[in-house]
Amino acid sequence: MKIITLVKTFVKILSNSLSKNITKSVTMLLTLLLFSCTSDSNKVTLTLGHTLDTRHVVHLAMEHMAKRLTHYSNGSMEIAIYPGGQLGSEREMIELLQIGSLAMTKVSASPLEGFVPEMQIFSIPYLMRDREHFWRVLNSDVGQGLLAKVETVRLKGMGYYDAGSRSFYTTNAPINTPDDLIGQKIRVLNSPTAVATVQALGGAATPIAWGELYAALQQGVVDGAENNPPSYYLSRHYEIAKYYSLDEHTFVPDIILASLPVWNSLTAEQQGWLSAAMADSITYQKSLWQAASDDALAKVKAAGTEIIYPDKKAFQAKVVDFHASFANSPVAKQITTIKNM
């Protein structure tokens, strides 16, 4: 833990004296020097990085997981959490997991499409009918099979977190129908299917890293983005993009990943403790999600956001051909199974 603390302090010093790009590069190099799984007086410390605000319910769930792991292991294991993108972007942290230089991270399922193509299922619009259907899919053989699939790329899928539904928010005009997206530059996750979704709905998709989005909205690089209510609120994007259209085009889960090399370095007992702590955190996070979403909507509305409830049928009709384009794809069977659940 002393090494981690020293590196974290050094990174803060760098942030005050170097340019953003240089600081980021040096941070990544220093991260590579960290043991993702360190041992201090027989205590195993797992380093977990993510990009979210510490007030986000996903961060709170990870803190709960850390507490439960300490409980199950009787203090012999702990999780050190680094929020806010301190250890890099989601893709960068995935790559650190693959080489065993980071123990755990939280990612949206969409960027995993670049590692496991089948993950594109979560970015197909209106495939998930509602939250109940979404969780039925996650807990099914389809959802659990996708989670297991990441082992082929040196990752360990620990479990899914609720990330609600993703909806559009814009800076210049509200989105009432798909036609309102025409000509609008919309930030999307780094996923080919997410890009294709916005294009199918009429917009111009622009992948941008989450940490760079506030400035991109402010400077007019993009006209809007899409995300769930808590992320829209906690990122303060509502300060610039004051139109929030709840079209709920996708339900994209968050996934807790572990490094497969790190996972394999743990004993069977330690793996059991970590899995139990993960299960507890999933239950905890699900219990918090809806209240956090409702609270976020209330707060952005009080701050002047115009919340729009469009007719979803118009958006669903717009993507019928897009759905049909998957008929001969590797995920065709899974799509049919999901629609029939």
CATH numbers and ranges of domains, the chain: 2-162+253-294 (3.40.190.170), 166-251+300-339 (3.40.190.170)
Q: Output 59-66 pairs: Cβ under 8 A, ≥24 positions apart.
A: 59/83, 60/284, 60/285, 60/288, 61/161, 61/281, 61/282, 61/284, 61/285, 61/288, 62/106, 62/256, 62/281, 64/280, 64/281, 64/284, 64/285, 65/256, 65/277, 65/278, 65/280, 65/281, 66/277
Distance between CA atoms of residues 329 and 317, nearest Å: 21
* Tens of pLDDT, residue by residue, the chain (341 residues): 434 443 444 444 444 444 444 444 444 445 444 545 665 568 999 999 999 989 999 999 999 999 999 999 999 999 999 999 999 988 899 999 999 999 999 999 988 998 999 999 999 999 999 999 999 999 999 999 999 999 999 999 999 999 999 999 999 999 999 999 999 999 998 889 999 999 999 999 999 988 899 999 999 999 999 999 999 999 999 999 999 999 999 999 999 999 999 999 999 999 999 999 999 999 999 999 999 999 999 999 999 999 999 999 999 999 999 999 999 999 999 999 999 99
Strand partners, 257: 105, 157
Q: What is the pLDDT of residue 232?
A: 97
To which H or E segment does residue 34 belong? none
Question: 246 exposed, middle or buried (CB, 10 Å; 0-12, 13-18, 19+)?
Answer: middle
Token reading at 303: 């701050």
Longest dimension (CA), the chain: 62
Cα 295 to its chain centre, rounded Å, is: 20
Instruction: Give the predicted TM-score (pTM) of the model.
Output: 0.84
Residues forming beta bridges with residue 250, ordered by sequence position: 166
Token pair of 106 as six digits = 């939280």
Between CA 255 and CA 157 the distance in angstroms is 7
176, amino acid identity: N
DSSP-H helix ranges across 101-223:
131-138, 141-149, 192-200, 213-218
What integer pLDDT is reported at residue 265 of this predicted model? 95
Q: Which of 315, 337, 286 minimizes the C-alpha distance to 118?
A: 337
CA distance 147 to 90: 17
The confidence score (pLDDT) of residue 89 equals 87
Name the region of 291 (left: φ>0; alpha: ψ -120 to 50; beta: rest). Answer: alpha
**Over the range 82-101, which residues count as b (16 or more CB within 10 Å of their CB) and which as e?**
bbebbbbbbebbbbbbbebb
Q: From CA 26, how far away is CA 16, in angstroms rounded?
A: 13
